[in-house]
Amino acid sequence: MRTYRSSLILGALLACSAPFVSPLAAQAAPEGRWLVRVRALSLTANNGSDEIVSLGVPDNAITVSDKVFPEFDISYFITKHIAAELVLTYPQQHDVKLSGTKIGTFKHLPPTLLAQYHFLPEGTVRPYAGVGVNVTFISDVKLAVPGVGKLDLESSSMGMAGQLGADIKVAPRVFLNVDVKKALISSDVTLGASTISAVRIHPWLASVGLGFRL
């Protein structure tokens, strides 16, 4: 149900933006309205979790591993200064530890939709800032604590996301990109039908790559 609601919200955001695109498209930069980037991204988890009183587990004992993975994103320039960016990848697997001991893995798929402001859209160095929403889909949960049983996570998480970055022109329509994002990602941890904790990953996402203006 949460996955269905999350998909509806993302769809609504895209649909609501549609009426504004056509009247403003003529103001887009002459290099083209589309910017496609391929980046290498480093996810650093800002781990936090609630204590599990019944198991004697303290605060922040549940941690999720960091990871480096590829990222693909598409930006559409509504005007020279304003763009919408959709960030995509494929499901990423993470290790989960409890008080330093691995208890299993899960996969997450974190599409993110951002509204950006580009400060110097025609410069060689083009800084930008963005804010939007991250929807993380969680799957293939394989978590178990000896003597306790199998644990599960919510199927989806929705939270705010923000970014700072810059495109550096290296050739006509080709850019080196550097980017840092913060995303709010969290999930309840369940044992059977009971919620026993909440995990807050809230990662920092640093990336570098190439962009192509179309």
CATH number at residue 164: 2.40.160.20
Q: Which domain range does residue 97 map to? A: 2-11+25-213
> Mean pLDDT of all residues in the chain?
90
What is the pLDDT confidence band of residue 11, given thresholds at 50, 70 and 90?
low
Q: Is residue 128 part of a domain?
A: yes
Whether pLDDT at 15 is above 80: no
What mean pLDDT do residues 117-129 have?
Answer: 97
In a domain, 91, yes or no: yes
Whether 16 is covered by a domain: the verdict is no
Has residue 18 been placed in a domain?
no
Considering its fold, how many domains does the chain have in total? Answer: 1
The pTM (predicted TM-score) of the whole model is: 0.84
pLDDT at 31: 87
pLDDT at 127: 98
Does 93 reside within a domain? Answer: yes
Read off the tokens for 54.
Answer: 């019944």
Half-sphere exposure of 158 (CA within 13 A, CB side): 13
162-212 per-position pLDDT tens digit: 999 999 999 999 999 999 999 999 999 999 999 999 999 999 999 999 999
Question: Looking at the domain assignment, is residue 179 inside a domain?
Answer: yes
